[in-house]
Structure 1
């Protein structure tokens, strides 16, 4: 679990389906996600929806479950991963890093869409995603619809190629509703008493 690089520990037990209006599919129910059925076929899981609706929580819970089952898991915020890829490319250690990533069975890319990437960073991320194609499972969390991904990658053909590889063998989960964090914060505030 330490090697996976989770920024926080979230479990399925803590996940409240009532608060996070998640639309699962027939092929990937919450139970099937917990059982890691998608990993048996190197399928991906795309978690799309508004900020604060439980995407990262569910991605981390899935990753922790995979770790418990002895799977090789890595977790990255996408912007951090792109910075790391650029750094390793510049200092000549990218080949070694990519070799290590080939051993990963589940790659979790959290928060795609908050920061646009430099062209070189986009291309390096594409290379990594291509390495995972049909050999590992990838979970992506994003607040962007696919049509908006070009704003992050900055190149229409590269964006199309990334989406094509990710969605080919993917389950797409939709997260709707209000931000859990905002709702939780508002529920803690006491109304002002009228004088």
Structure 2
């Protein structure tokens, strides 16, 4: 019998979806050295599949940039008394479909933190999606115009974490406000929302153009949510070339 080629092994590996019974059978047939080789092979395959899944999730998240919690400057952030950096970094809020509002001054790290949380979720195998408020409204409006709004909402709903960045930076018309409200309301107690804004709650009615709609959104977010406050000088201004 001719030796099995590398190409044949690759083809067989691609075709195989191994079961526990097959692995057990061949492990019992093998020598200790062969079982060690088989174990290392399966570990390498697992690591490769995990890395590929993480990369797929990062691509699907459509992050504006790949950010990390490592080295993040926390000096501008004030946490609630019952919540801190360790719990946030552990992503424990995702396990309970809790929300976060990152509120405060421009340039103090809100978007960086929201992006880093989404990236961390993807690297743990948790689906996440990043939108600016304007891009989310535009995506929903286009889907509605093309008769595929339900499909788009279903796609967004597959994510365990939704980031909505720059809430309140641009005005939203009434139709866009209703679509945004639908996304937030649909996610209530099902998935986590991270929302960045420089508007205090009392001014959210100016974004939705309807105080009642804003109140309904706030009611849902504060029920299972926490407020992180950001104060300080803009990082971009501090490090700007133009003085």
TM over 0.5: yes
Matches within 5 A, 1:155-170: 155-170=210-225
Match of 1:90 among 145, 157, 163: 145
Residue among 103, 109, 132 paired with 2:187: 132
Q: Post-superposition shift, 1:25?
A: 2.0
- RMSD across aligned positions (CA): 1.3
Q: Please state whether the residue corresponding to 2:67 is helix, strand or coil.
A: coil
Tell me, what secondary structure is at the counterpart of 1:120? helix
Instruction: Considering fraction of residues, name the structure with more strand.
Output: 1
Q: CA deviation at 1:94?
A: 0.5
Secondary structure of the residue aligned to 2:239 is helix
- Hey, what does 2:118 align to over in structure 1? 63
- Structure 1 residue 14, shift from structure 2 partner: 3.4
Count of equivalent residues: 186
Q: Which has the higher helix share?
A: 2
In the aligned structure 2, how far is the partner of 1:140 from the partner of 1:129?
Answer: 10
- Per-residue Cα deviation, 1:45-96 (whole angstroms, up to 9, x for no partner): 1100010011011111111100000001000001110011111111101011
Residues of 1 paired with 2:68 and 2:83: CA distance? Answer: 18
CA distance in 1, matches of 2:110, 2:226: 14
Give matches, 1:1-195, under 5 Å. 1-18=58-75, 21-185=76-240
Contact map agreement 1:47 1:141 (CA 8 A) in 2: yes
Secondary structure in structure 2 of the residue aligned to 1:3: helix
Higher Cα Rg, which structure: 2
5+ residue gaps in structure 1? 190-195
- Gap runs ≥5 in structure 2: 1-57
1:27–1:171 Cα contact (<8 Å) kept: no
Instruction: Tell me: higher relative CO, structure 1 or 2? Use CA pairs within 8 A at least 6 residues apart.
Output: 1
- Tell me the secondary structure at the aligned position of residue 149 of structure 1: helix
How far is 1:106 from its partner? 0.2
